[in-house]
Amino acid sequence: MAKMSPLLMTLLFIVLSSMMMNQLPVASSKKWCVATPTATEKQLGDNMEFACAIGVDCRPIMPSGACFLPNTTLSHASFLMNSYFQSHDQTDHACYFFFPDSSIITTTDPSYDRCIYPSH
């Protein structure tokens, strides 16, 4: 049996471990905050107003923005609430608005088409 050089062994080890790591369900650090479908229009409206008033970029949900469609309160509120959450370092309380049940933290990326929900 041919002897492998230590360098080759090391490289092989790195390649194999990174292949395995990609398959393991490694906990992702990416988190998003979205609106819950059970929240009322009024609750989500208040959350959106708050986010926009505090300095979140609300242009993406405007008619010319990438996140305008679907033109629903649920979709628009989710985008803005997530932006607020991200601008506050994803701390749990930044996904806690006036109505606790109106928002939830998720590890599933809500982005679609050209509407990219930031996460860091």
- Which of 69, 101, 82 is CA-nearest to residue 30? 82
Measured between alpha carbons, how far is 39 from 78 in angstroms, rounded to an integer?
11
Judged by CB under 6 A, does residue 63 bind ligand NAG? yes
- Total binding residues for ligand NAG by CB under 6 A? 2
Residues 6+ apart with CB under 8 A from 67: 60, 61, 75, 76, 79, 115
Judged by CB under 6 A, does residue 91 bind ligand NAG? no
Residue 112 main-chain phi, psi, to 5 deg: -150, 150
- Which of 76, 91, 87, 82 is CA-nearest to residue 109? 82
Q: How far is the CB of 72 from ligand NAG (least distance, A)?
A: 7
Judged by CB under 6 A, does residue 71 bind ligand NAG? yes
Q: How far is the CB of 67 from ligand NAG (least distance, A)?
A: 13
Q: How far is the CB of 95 from ligand NAG (least distance, A)?
A: 25
Which residue, 89 or 113, has its beta carbon nearer to ligand NAG?
Answer: 113
Which positions lie near ligand NAG, rule CB under 6 A? 63, 71
